[in-house]
Amino acid sequence: MRLKPQYWPLRLTPQFTPQIRLKGVMRLTPQLATMLRRNIRLRREYLYRKSLEGKERLLYEKKRKIKEALQEGKPIPTELRNEEAALRAEIDLEDENTAVPKTHIDDEYANATERDPKILLTTSRNPSAPLTQFVKELKIVFPNAQRMNRGGQVISEIIETCRAHDFTDVVLVHEHRGVPDGLIISHLPFGPTAYFGLLNVVTRHDIKDKKAMGTMPEAYPHLILNNFKTKLGERTVNILKHLFPVPKPDTKRIITFANQSDYISFRHHIYEKSGGPKSIELKEIGPRFELRLYQVKLGTVDQSEAQVEWVIRPYMNTSKKRKFLGD
C-alpha cells in the first residue's frame, strides 16, 4: 500500500526523533514540523557561537597585551603594531559586560535566573520498589519536580518532549540489583550533562522512627555548598544549584552538598529556634546519600556524539592523590 505524503517516514537524527507515531510510521504534523525546525535552528546557533570562542579568545588576548603595555608605559608588542589602531578603537568602545568574552558555558545557564527550574524525574526501565520509593522522595527534595514512569519510553523521546514543554532539567536515576547506584542530571535545551555515582543511599522509608523524623516540608530550601574550590568544583556547583529556585529568607529548610575527597555528601535538614534566636535545633529529615562525579558532557543525555568536557581517570598513577573538586 502506498502511503499518503503526510505519512511518509522521516529521516531524522536521533536527538530530533518525534514522539508522535501512527502504526509504526512517524506522522509529520504542522506543529511537530515547526518544533523540529526550531530545535535544529537553535542547535545550529549554539554550535556556531561555540565555534567562535577560539577567535574571540585570541582577540581578547591581543587587547589584553595592548592594555598592559599602555598601562605600564611599555612599547606595543611588535606582532601587534599593525593592528594597534583597530584594537585600540575596539577597547575604547568596550564596557565591563563586553570586555571579557563569554563562553558556551555562560550561555547554558544565561536564562536560568529568569524563571524557576522545572525538573522531570524518571528511572531506568522496570524499576524496583526501592528505586521507585527513592525517586518519590527526590520529587519532594527538588521543588517544581514532576515524576514520570519510564515505561517503554526512549531517552531521545523524553528529551524532545521535555524541550517542547519547557522543562529545564531531566534527572535519571539508575539502579543495580535494587540498589540506586547512578544519577544523571541533564540541563535543557543544550546541556551540560553530569553523571554521578550514587552511594550509601538511606531513604526516609528505611528509617523506622517516623515521628522523630517528622514531615518533609515543600518550601524552597537554602543551599549550603561546601568545599568546591577548583574550576571543576565550580562547574559542579553551577549544575547542582540551578536545580533549586531562589528561597525566601525566612525558610527553615536547608539542603547541604558537602565535598570531601571528591565524594559529595547530600544532607537534608530543617531548623527550629526553640530557645530563642541563639538556640537553634537542627533536625535531619532525609533522604541522605553520597555522590561521586565521574563525567561531564557538553550536550544532553541523548546525544552520544556530544563532546566530553571532563571524565574521571581512576587507573592513572596519580588519581588517588589528586582532588578534582576541592581540598
Q: What is the H or E stretch that residue 35 is in?
A: helix 30-51
Query: Residue 217's pLDDT is what?
Result: 87
DSSP state for residue 298 in the 8-state scheme: S
pLDDT (0 to 100) of residue 129 = 93
pLDDT at 294: 94
The residue with cell 517528622 is 214
Domain ranges of the chain: 35-103, 119-321
Q: What is the largest CA-CA distance in the chain?
A: 81
Spell out the per-residue pLDDT of the chain, length 327, in tens.
444 444 444 344 444 444 444 334 456 778 777 877 877 787 777 777 777 777 777 888 888 888 888 888 888 888 888 888 888 888 787 776 666 666 655 567 877 778 899 999 999 999 999 999 999 999 999 999 999 999 889 999 999 899 889 999 999 999 999 999 999 999 998 889 999 999 999 998 887 776 777 778 889 999 999 999 998 999 999 999 999 999 999 999 999 999 998 999 999 999 888 777 778 888 888 899 999 999 999 889 998 888 898 999 877 666 666 788 887
pLDDT for 155: 93
Distance (Å, rounded) from C-alpha 292 to C-alpha 294?
Answer: 6
CATH number for the domain formed by residue range(s) 119-321: 3.40.50.10480
- Whether pTM exceeds 0.85: no
- The CA-to-CA distance between both ends of the chain, in Å, stands at 67
Plot region of 214 (φ>0 → left; ψ -120 to 50 → alpha; else → beta): left
